[in-house]
Structure 1
Amino acid sequence: MLIINNPSGLRHEMPEGHPERIARLETVFAVLADVDAERTEAPLATEADVALCHPQGYIDAMRAAQPTEGLVQIDADTSASPGTWEAAMRGVGGCLLGVDRVLSGAHKRAFVATRPPGHHAEKTRAMGFCLFGSIAIAARHALERHGLSRVAVVDFDVHHGNGTQDLLWDEPRALFVSSHQMPLYPGSGAVHERGGSDNVLNLPLPPGSDGQAMRSRYTSHVFPRLRDWKPDLILISAGFDAHTRDPLANLLWEAEDFAWVTRGLVAVAEEVCEGRIVSTLEGGYDLQGLGDGVLAHVTELEDRDA
C-alpha cells in the first residue's frame, strides 16, 4: 500500500489549546513509522483541482484569508496561519495522488496522513476546522478525470460529514455514507437526508453507544448498500474521534472497532472494485486514541497478498 504524508500540515497552526493541533499529525507520523508501505509526500493541488467542488470565488477568498503572520479566524472554530494554504492544498493533492496511484494499479490502497481535515467544508463555507472538501474533490476527480462510473465515500468520523454531503448531494454517480453521533456538531446527518438521487445514507448513533452498535449498522445497512452500489473505487473519510477517549464526542469505540470496520470495507472493496480504497485522515483529538485508531486502520488496509 501507499502512505502519502503531508508534512506541511505541521506548519498549519491553530490557537493555543485548540483540539485540531499539530501534535495530531506528529502522532500519526510516529505510529505509522514502522508500517511496511511505500511512502511519498503529498503534492500541491491546483486551484482547478479544488474547483471540481468549490466555486472560484470561494477559493479566492480562502487564499486571500491566509495571513503572512499570526492567525486569522475564518470560522468560529477554524483559523488560518501562514502555513495553512499550503497544508490545505497539499491535503487535496494527497487525496488526488492516492486516487491516481490506486487507479493506475501501482497500489491497491492508499492512506493520506494530513491536516487540516476536510469533510466539514461546504461549497462556500469553511467550518469545523476544514477549508476544502478533499474527499469529495477526490471523488469528482475519479469520476471526471478517470472516467469511473460510480464511487462511494464512507465517513466514520464521529461528526457528520456535512461538507462532503453538500458537495456530493447532486452527484448521482457518488454514494455518500456517514455514521456519526447524533446529536452532535454540526447538527446535520439525519436519516431523512438522502441526497438528490437517493445517494446519501446517514446512520446516526446515539451518545454512549459502543462499537457493537456501529457493527450492527454497518453489517445491516452499509456493507449491503455498498455491494448494491458496486462502486469502482471506495474512498474513506477516516476520523478517529468516535474513540472512547476522545474529548469532543461520546461514542465508545476502541481500536479494534476501527480495525473491524476497515476489514469490512476492504472485504467489500475486494468484491466490487478489485480492492481499491483511498483513505484520508479526518478527526481524532485524543492523541492516544488517534494513534491507536490510525494504526489499526492502516494495518487493515495493508495488502497482505502483495
Structure 2
Amino acid sequence: MLLLTHPACVRHEIAPGHPECPDRLRAVMQALEAQQFSTLIRAEAPEATREQLERVHPAFYVDRILSIRPPEGDSVALDADTAMNAHSAEAALRAAGAGVAAVDAVCGGEYPRAFCAVRPPGHHAEPTQAMGFCLFSSAAIAARHAQAAHGVERVAVLDFDVHHGNGTQAAFERDPTLFLASSHQMPLYPGTGAASETGVGNILNVPLRPYADGPAFRRAWEAEILPAVERFAPGLIVISAGFDAHRRDPLAQINLDEAEFAWVTEAICDVARRTSGGRVVSMLEGGYDLTALARSAAAHVRALMQA
C-alpha cells in the first residue's frame, strides 16, 4: 500500500496554539513508523497542477490562494479559523497533489489502496471560498482527476469526519456522476449537512446527535450509507478520513474510539471490492486530540493494509 506525504505539510501553520497544527501530522507519521507499517511504500506528494485544481476551483480562486505567500513569520487571515503562512500555499498544493498521485497509483494498478497523510485538510473548502482550516478541496480534486485522467465514470467520496464536508458537497451537488456520503455531528460547524440536502440525488447526509456512540455510528453506515454506495456502484472510492469523532476530541461530542474507525474502514473496503475492484484512496481530514488522532489513523491505515 502507498503512503503519500510531504515536509511542506508540516511547515504550514495557521497560528500558535491553533488546533489544526503541525503536530497533528507529526503524530500521525510517528504512529506509522511502527513495525507493523514497515511494508508501506512511502513517497513524497507532488504539487497539484493548475489544471487539476481548476477542475474544482475557478481560476480566480486558485490565483488568490497561490498569491498569498507572506514573509517568514507572518500570516494572512482568510477567516476567523483559517490563515496562511509562508509555506501554506505549497502545503495546500502538496495536499491536493497527494490525492492526485494516489489516484494515479491506484487507478493505474500500481497499488490497490493509498493513504495521504497531509494537511491542510480539504473538505470544508468550497469552490470559491477557503474555510474551516481548508484551502483546496483535495478529495473533490482527486475525484475529478480520476474522471478526467483515468476515465472513471463514477466516483464516491465517503466522509466520516465529525464535521460535515460542505466543500465536497458544494463541488458535487449538481453532478450525478459524483456521490458524497457523510456521517457527522449535527448541530455543529459548519451548519450544513442536513438529511434534506440531497443534491441531484447524489448527496447522502446522515447527521448524528451530539454524544452519539459507536453503535449509532455503525447503524448509520450499515443501514444507510454502505447500501447507498453499493447502489451507486463507483469505480473508485475516496475516503475523507477525519478522526475528530473520537471521544477524546476537543472540537466535537461524538463518542467513538479507534475500533469504530477500523470497522468503518473495513466496511468501506468490503464495498470497494464489490464495486470498484477494491480501489480506495484515503485522505486525512480532521482530528485534534493528538493521541486519539495517532491511534485512530494507525487503526485506519492498518485496516486499509489488511483489506
Which TM bucket (shorter chain)? over 0.9
Aligned to 1:2: 2
**Native 8 Å contact 1:109 1:303 kept in 2:** no
Deviation sequence 1:158-199 (CA, Å, 0-9, x none): 00000000011112101100100000000000001001x200
Aligned to 1:28: 28
Query: Which of 49, 66, 74 does residue 46 from structure 1 map onto?
Result: 49
* 2:150 alignment partner AA: H
Aligned to 2:278: 275
Deviation sequence 1:184-218 (CA, Å, 0-9, x none): 000000001001x2000000000001111010011
Fraction of identical pairs, as percent: 50
Is 2:150 the counterpart of 1:146?
A: yes
**Whole-angstrom distance in 2 between the partners of 1:194 and 1:133:** 19
**Native 8 Å contact 1:174 1:199 kept in 2:** yes
Aligned to 1:16: 16
* 1:77 alignment partner AA: D
**Whole-angstrom distance in 1 between the partners of 2:67 and 2:109:** 38
**Whole-angstrom distance in 2 between the partners of 1:71 and 1:210:** 38
* 1:253 alignment partner AA: L
Q: Which runs of 5+ in 1 are unaligned?
A: none
Is 2:266 the counterpart of 1:242?
A: no
Aligned to 2:58: 55
Q: How far off its partner does 1:148 sit?
A: 1.0
Query: Which of 85, 97, 120 does residue 124 from structure 2 map onto?
Result: 120
Query: Which of 79, 82, 100 does residue 83 from structure 2 map onto?
Result: 79
| 2:207 alignment partner, SS class | strand
Q: Which runs of 5+ in 2 are unaligned?
A: none
**Whole-angstrom distance in 1 between the partners of 2:79 and 2:101:** 28
Q: How far off its partner does 1:256 sit?
A: 0.1
Aligned to 2:193: 189
**Native 8 Å contact 1:44 1:89 kept in 2:** yes
Q: How far off its partner does 1:137 sit?
A: 0.6
**Whole-angstrom distance in 2 between the partners of 1:15 and 1:149:** 40
Deviation sequence 1:220-274 (CA, Å, 0-9, x none): 0111111111100000000000000000000000000000000100110111111
Deviation sequence 1:44-76 (CA, Å, 0-9, x none): 111111101000001111122221231110111
**Whole-angstrom distance in 1 between the partners of 2:49 and 2:271:** 32
Q: How far off its partner does 1:303 sit?
A: 4.3
**Whole-angstrom distance in 2 between the partners of 1:61 and 1:68:** 16
Aligned to 1:300: 303
**Native 8 Å contact 2:102 2:116 kept in 1:** yes
Aligned to 2:169: 165
**Native 8 Å contact 2:68 2:89 kept in 1:** no
**Mapping for residues 259-274 of structure 1, pairs under 5 Å:** 259-274=262-277
**Whole-angstrom distance in 2 between the partners of 1:13 and 1:151:** 31
Q: How far off its partner does 1:281 sit?
A: 0.2
Count of equivalent residues: 303
Is 2:234 the counterpart of 1:213?
A: no
Q: How far off its partner does 1:14 sit?
A: 1.8
TM-score under structure 1 length normalisation: 0.98
Aligned to 1:101: 105
| 2:226 alignment partner, SS class | helix
TM-score under structure 2 length normalisation: 0.97
**Whole-angstrom distance in 1 between the partners of 2:188 and 2:14:** 22
Q: More deviation in 7-16 or 204-213?
A: 7-16
Q: After the TM superposition, which parts of structure 1 deviate over 6 Å for at least 4 consecutive aligned residues?
A: none
**What RMSD in Å do the two structures reach over aligned CA positions?**
0.8
**Whole-angstrom distance in 2 between the partners of 1:122 and 1:26:** 27
Aligned to 1:179: 183
Aligned to 1:230: 233
**Native 8 Å contact 1:244 1:254 kept in 2:** yes
| 2:8 alignment partner, SS class | helix
**Whole-angstrom distance in 2 between the partners of 1:2 and 1:242:** 25
